[in-house]
């Protein structure tokens, strides 16, 4: 049975969270650490944008500053996510690992199945995993949660887990938000809209497409229990053994250096 590493959740700001994920990718590529499941939270709240998004065109940076919300560009694609009342996970593993399909969609489905098992252990039951949907141009926005990609996790047809995957130098990074309480109004305070009418239409549309687990089950979720059960669910589905560890000193040093990139305007405003 393969042994993987699990790192329990700690809170960092947006730049450090992204720097740590990339540092783990580098360390795993160099053979210094095992495949890793990491949990984390955000302090302060943060809006992340996909690697290919245009920050200043899509995000209201003045409003972010006013509301004390960080903003950082992810290494992964996709659209903007507000990280606040959630548990975030990341999985770092080699593309050549026998569990990971060469197809991004199939590996995404496999990881989602493990997450669903963990949610089930919390007494949270989700919709069947399905292929994604297309949305009309008029309902398209910079926000990740107003559209369902293939095999994303939903409750009552509302997306509650949003994930993104990147593959670089033979290493897979998939990270995602397990949303507990979804604040659609705050999200669209931070995302630019052409006018107030369109903004309200997008809020209404997104509220029908996305939610948080607590919003849908009308029950508070203990984040430590959630973390524990997600770990169990992924371990069972992957048929692996998790060893609880922390970041190595090497990864911390890498993350400190990468922090300069993720906190710089040069990187975050590159598009």
pLDDT at 84: 98
The whole-number pLDDT of residue 224 equals 98
| Segment 128-167, tens digit of pLDDT | 998 776 555 555 556 656 667 889 999 999 999 999 999 9
Give the Cα separation of 64 and 206 in Å (integer).
Answer: 20
Size of the chain, expressed as the number of residues it contains: 271
**Summary mean pLDDT of the chain:** 94
Residue 133 neighbours by CB under 8 Å, 6+ apart: 147, 148
pLDDT recorded at residue 134: 58
Q: Is 157 left (phi over 0), alpha (psi -120 to 50) or beta?
A: left
For residue 148, give the nearest of 211, 236, 225 by alpha carbon. Answer: 211
* Strand pairing report for 36-42 and 3-12: parallel
> Are 90 and 35 in contact, with CB atoms under 8 Å apart?
no
188, 206 Cβ separation under 8 angstroms: yes
**Distance from C-alpha of 224 to C-alpha of 213, rounded to nearest angstrom:** 15
Q: Give me the residue label for tokens 């990139």.
A: 261
Q: How far apart are CA 47 and CA 10, in angstroms?
A: 18
User: Would you state the structure tokens that stand for residue 34, as one six-digit string?
Assistant: 């095992």
Q: In this predicted structure, what is the pLDDT of residue 145?
A: 63
Tens of pLDDT along 231-244?
A: 999 999 999 999 99
The beta strand positions in 31-85, using DSSP E, are: 36-42, 46-49, 70-73, 81-83
What are 211-229's pLDDT values in tens digits?
999 999 999 999 999 999 9
Q: What is the pLDDT of residue 135?
A: 52
Position 184 pLDDT exceeds 60 = yes
Residue 140 confidence (pLDDT): 54
DSSP structural state of residue 79: -
**144 tagged catalytic:** yes
pLDDT at 137: 53
3-class DSSP assignment, residue 199: helix
Q: Beta partners for 130?
A: none
Candidates 46, 64, 122, 144; catalytic one: 144
53-110 pLDDT, tens digit each: 999 999 999 999 999 999 999 999 999 999 999 999 999 999 999 999 999 999 999 9
> Closest Cα to residue 53, out of 34, 22, 80?
80
Q: Please state the rounded mean pLDDT for residues 113-132.
A: 94
Closest CA to 154 of 108, 192, 116: 116
């Amino acid at each position: 049975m393969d042994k993987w590493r699990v790192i329990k959740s700690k809170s960092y700001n947006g730049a450090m969270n992204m720097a740590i994920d990339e540092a783990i990718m580098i360390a795993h590529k160099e053979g210094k650490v095992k495949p890793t499941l990491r949990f984390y939270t955000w302090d302060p709240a943060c809006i992340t944008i996909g690697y290919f998004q245009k920050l200043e065109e899509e995000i209201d940076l003045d409003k972010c500053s006013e509301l004390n919300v960080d903003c950082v560009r992810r290494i992964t694609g996709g659209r903007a996510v507000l990280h606040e009342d959630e548990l975030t996970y990341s999985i770092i593993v080699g593309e050549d690992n026998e569990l990971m399909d060469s197809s991004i969609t199939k590996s995404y489905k496999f990881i989602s199945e493990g997450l669903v098992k963990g949610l089930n252990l919390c007494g949270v039951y989700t919709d069947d995993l399905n292929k994604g949907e297309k949305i009309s141009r008029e309902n398209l926005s910079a926000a990740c949660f107003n559209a369902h990609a293939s095999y994303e996790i939903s409750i009552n047809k509302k997306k509650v887990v949003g994930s993104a995957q990147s593959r670089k130098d033979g290493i897979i990074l998939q990270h995602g938000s397990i949303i507990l309480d979804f604040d659609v109004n705050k999200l669209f305070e931070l995302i630019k809209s052409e006018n107030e009418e369109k903004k309200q239409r997008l809020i209404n549309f997104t509220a029908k497409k996305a939610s948080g687990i607590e919003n849908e089950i009308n029950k508070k979720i203990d984040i430590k229990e959630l973390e524990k059960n997600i770990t169990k669910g992924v371990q069972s589905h992957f048929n692996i053994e998790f060893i609880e560890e922390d970041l190595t000193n090497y990864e911390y040093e890498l993350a400190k250096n990468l922090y300069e990139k993720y906190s710089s305007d040069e990187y975050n405003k590159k598009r």
